[in-house]
Amino acid sequence: MDFIHTILGIPHLLSHLLFCCCGLLFCCCGLVILHFPVGLLLVGVFRGISQGLTFYVLLLHLIFQLYILGLQLL
């Protein structure tokens, strides 16, 4: 999450609140979707998208951490 603070300039606490609010929003959407017949299909799609996004966010975080480490070694 350090790259979010440094690149976007978002304060540390605000970024945590932002991610918590997004998480709660996705949970509420998931609960609403479960009441519909196609809910299970959509939940599967959303779960796949969220896992994919999590992977890419972690990968970007690793790349930025390595970049910052490389700058510190110079």
Here the tokens at position 27 are 């949970």
Give me the amino acid identity at 62: L
- Predicted TM-score (pTM) of the model is 0.38
The percentage of the chain sitting over the pLDDT mark of 90, rounded to a whole number, equals 0
Q: Distance between CA atoms of 52 and 31, rounded to whole angstroms?
A: 21
**41-47: average pLDDT:** 68
Please identify which residue in the block is written with the tokens 């196609």. 38
pLDDT digits (tens, 9 = 90+) for 9-33: 556 666 666 666 666 666 666 655 5
Q: Distance between CA atoms of 27 and 33, rounded to whole angstroms?
A: 10
